[in-house]
A and B are shown apart, each in its own frame.
Chain A
Amino acid sequence: MKQFTILISILFIFFSCASRQERTEDIVNKWLDQEIKFSDSLNTQQDSLWQLMLDKDFKLLTIIDTNSCTGCHLKLHEWNKLIKEMDTINPNVAFLFVVHVKDYTIVDVLKKRNKFTYPIFYDYKNKIGKLNDFPKAPRFQTFLLNKNNKVILLGNPIGSHRMWELYKKVLSEESLIAQP
Chain B
Amino acid sequence: MKSLTPFIIILTTLSCTSHDIMIGKNILIKEFPQEVKLTGERVDITSIGVNDIFVVDTFLICFKADGLDDFFDIYSTNTYQSLGKFLSPGRGPDEFLNAIYMGQYFKDSLNTYMWVKDGALMKLVLFNVTESIRQQKTILDSCIYLSEDCRGECFVLGDTLISIVNSSYNHILNTYDLKKDTLSQQPIIMFSDPLKNEHQYLFGMTNQLRSDHKRFVSNMANFNQINIFSPQFTDIITLSLYEPTVSMKEISFIPERERIRYFSGLQITDSSIYALYINLPTPIFREHNKNVEIQQFDWEGTPIRKFIITNDIIYFTLDTRHKCIYTFKDNEEIDKYDISDYF
Contact = CB atoms under 8 A, between A and B. Distances in A.
The B interface is mostly helix, strand or loop, or mixed, namely loop
A17 B145 contact: yes
B122 A105 contact: no
B324 interface: no
Given A65-B199, A104-B256, A129-B199, A72 B100 contact: yes
A160 B65 CA distance: 17
Given A100-B199, A109-B330, A124-B255, A139 B120 contact: yes
B44 interface: no
B204 A67 contact: yes
Contacts of B330: 109
A26 to B, nearest CB: 12
**Range of interface residues on B (Cβ < 8 Å):** 35 or more
A147 interface: no
B219 interface: no
B72 to A, nearest CB: 13
B76 interface: no
Given A137-B148, A138-B119, A67 B166 contact: yes
Contacts of A159: 89-91, 95, 97
B215 interface: no
Contact of A77 (B66, B95, B166, B205): B66
Interface in A67-93: 67-73, 75-78
A109 to B, nearest CB: 7
Nearest to A76: B66
A140 to B, nearest CB: 10
A101 to B, nearest CB: 7
A100 B204 CA distance: 12
B200 interface: yes
Given A124-B255, A160-B91, A101 B65 contact: no
A70 B66 CA distance: 10
Interface stretch (B24-32, B224-232, B279-287): B279-287
B194 interface: no
A103 interface: yes
A104 B221 CA distance: 12
Interface string B233-272: 0000000000000000000000111000000000000000
B64 to A, nearest CB: 8
Contacts of B152: 67-68
Nearest to B89: A159
Interface in B50-73: 51, 65-68
B98 A73 contact: yes
Interface string B74-91: 000000000000000111
A113 B221 contact: no
Contacts of A78: 66
A25 to B, nearest CB: 15
A75 B66 contact: yes
A102 B201 contact: yes
A109 B286 contact: yes
A115 interface: no
A125 interface: yes
A71 B199 contact: no
Interface string B294-317: 000000000000000000000000
Contacts of A113: 49
B257 A104 contact: yes
A20 interface: yes
Nearest to A78: B66
A158 interface: yes
B275 to A, nearest CB: 17
Interface string A110-134: 0001100000000011100110000
B122 A71 contact: no
Contacts of B221: 102-103
Which among B120, B166, B205 has the greatest number of chain A C-beta atoms within 10 A?
A: B120
Interface string A44-76: 000000000000000000000111111111011
Given A75-B66, A105-B282, A126 B119 contact: no
18 contacts: A20-B145, A67-B203, A67-B205, A68-B100, A68-B119, A72-B65, A72-B119, A75-B66, A75-B67, A76-B66, A102-B201, A102-B221, A104-B257, A105-B283, A126-B198, A130-B198, A130-B199, A137-B122
Interface of A: 17, 20, 65-73, 75-78, 100-105, 109, 113-114, 124-126, 129-130, 136-139, 156, 158-160
